[in-house]
Amino acid sequence: MSEDWPLFEVFIRSRAGLEHKHVGSLHAADARMAIEHARDVYTRRQEGVSIWVVPSAQIIASDPAEAESLFEPARDKVYRHPTFYAIPEEVKNL
Amino acid sequence: MSGSATEPRDAVLEAARLRYVLRLADTSLVLGQQLGAWVGHAPALEEELGLANLALDLIGQARLLLSYAGELEGRGRDEDQLAFLRDAPEFANLALAEQPNGDFAQTIVRQWLLDGWQLEIYQGLGDSCDPRLAAIAAKALKETRYHHRFSSGWLIRLGDGTEESRRRTQRSLDDLWRFTDEFFAPDEVDERVSAAGIAPPLSLQAPAWSARVDEALAAATLRRPPAQPYPWHGKRGVHTEHLSHLLGEMQHLQRTYPGARW
């Protein structure tokens, strides 16, 4: 039965102020059911305070076959990493 | 009821309070046990988790209520002893809760009818003069709002779905409707607890339940069955045969190995 339902991607915000993170996917007949399923499948252990669901078909992904041309050119450009700065001790997250 | 004319009024009221709490507790316990049986059999993995979540909420409610019942009873019985060592005639659940799971439509119709009942009862208990009961109801109400959202969503999908889902849902509704007769039909216990301010009068709650039912049935394009008088009343301990079978399975372990833990 669930195989007949479209796939949705699920994003959960774990705490107020944090971003929604992708946690997995599920099948549901429509958006309302997808939210309910996401609540039942992915927030059973208090993982979140907010849910987004997105039809998987709506996600446009990069082509793995193009990975070389998309990502390898960045490999030899280490100067793009801000690793040459001294970070003050008080800064916990950067 | 253990009350008699010679007992002081307080004892009669306390007996009614205990009986009332057991009705709420046993309805949640029996319904939770039923839903647990869907694990491994639900039509979709996601629904299976959904039904199991409802079951766990209901069993959680039953634990709080049975613990309270044990204290009210004052015979040293805890939640486990009340759940696992009473026989069917001592159970006070609404008879609808013990009706079999049947197909998915039957489970949903049963759930939706009882969710609507719990919604009214738990809402009303917010004003109870019994602080323990009011606190349990406040927690249960949050859970029940989700349960009702879940079950009415499915009722509408199934009723307003395919020819087959509509036929099965209407059939379940027609089969189960008679068990709603006892929901809001007050007996001596209901009257005593409402007069004492422990619970709101059922007669005030019936119209809201009925309106909610009509609203969902209209959206589901289902027909409300005619009222049917019903001779069995689970809340008075008069049960259908299904309860004994359910208890046989639920109580087997504790009956066979008393006090077993894991």
**Confidence check: pLDDT of B207 > 80:** yes
pLDDT of A85: 78
In a domain, A85, yes or no: no
For every residue of chain A, which 3-state class applies, written as one string? CHHHCCEEEEEEECCCCCCEEEEEEEECCCHHHHHHHHHHHHCCCCCCCEEEEEEHHHCCCCCHHHHHHHHHHHCCCHHHCCCCCCCCCCCCCC
Q: Is the residue at A47 inside a domain?
A: yes
Q: Is the pLDDT of residue A1 over 80?
A: no
CA dist., res. B208 & res. B216, Å (int): 13
Sort out which chain B residues have CB atoms less than 8 A from A27's CB and list them: 44, 46
Range name among A84-93, B29-38, B71-80 with the lowest pLDDT average: A84-93
Read off the DSSP letter of residue B84.
H
Domain that residue A26 falls in = 2-59
Residue A41 belongs to a domain: yes
Structural domains of chain B, ranges and CATH numbers in brackets: 9-226+233-256 (1.20.1260.10)
Choose among B218, B91, B234: nearest CA to B176. Answer: B234
- Specify the range with the lowest mean pLDDT, choosing from A80-94, B21-35, B119-133: A80-94
Q: Name the 3-class secondary structure at B199.
A: coil
Report pLDDT for B1.
47
How far is residue B54's CA from residue B111's CA, in Å, rounded to a whole number?
A: 10
Q: Determine contact, residues A31/A53, Cβ cutoff 8 Å.
A: yes
- Does A87 map to a domain? no
Choose among B156, B163, B133, B172: nearest CA to B212: B156
**ipTM for the complex?**
0.74
> Token pair of A60, please?
């446009």
Please list every residue in chain B whose beta carbon sits closer than 8 Å to the beta carbon of residue A39.
146
Mean pLDDT of B211-230: 95
Tens-place pLDDT, residues B62-86: 999 999 999 999 999 999 999 999 9
Residue B116 contacts by C-beta under 8 Å, 6 or more apart in sequence?
Answer: B148, B209, B212, B213
pLDDT tier, B261 (very low <50, low <70, confident <90, very high otherwise): confident
Of the candidates B44, B53, B146, the beta carbon closest to that of A2 is on B44
Chain B residues touching A53 at Cβ < 8 A: none
Identify which of A50, A53, A58 has the alpha carbon closest to the alpha carbon of residue A19: A50
CA nearest neighbour of B121 among B201, B196, B41, B64:
B201
Q: What is the mean pLDDT of residues B79-95?
A: 96
Q: What is the pTM of this model?
A: 0.87
**To probe the interface with A, which of B35, B38, B41, B46 has the most A CB atoms within 10 Å?**
B46
Q: Which tokens in the block code for residue B83?
A: 């759940």
A89 located within any domain: no
A28: domain CATH number? 3.10.20.520
In B, minimum Cα distance to A30 occurs at B157
Domain-embedded: residue A53: yes
Domain assignment present for A18: yes
How many angstroms away from the CA of A69 is the closest CA of chain B? Answer: 39
Amino acid (one-letter) located at B37: A
State the nearest Cα–Cα gap between A41 and chain B, in angstroms. 6
Nearest to A40 among B43, B50, B153 (CB): B50
Nearest to B46 among A26, A32, A44 (CB): A26
When divided into structural domains, chain A yields a total of: 1
Q: Check residue B106 and report its DSSP letter.
A: H
Q: How far is CA A11 from the centre of its chain?
A: 6
pLDDT band per the 50, 70, 90 thresholds, residue A84: confident
Q: Is A90 among the domain residues? A: no
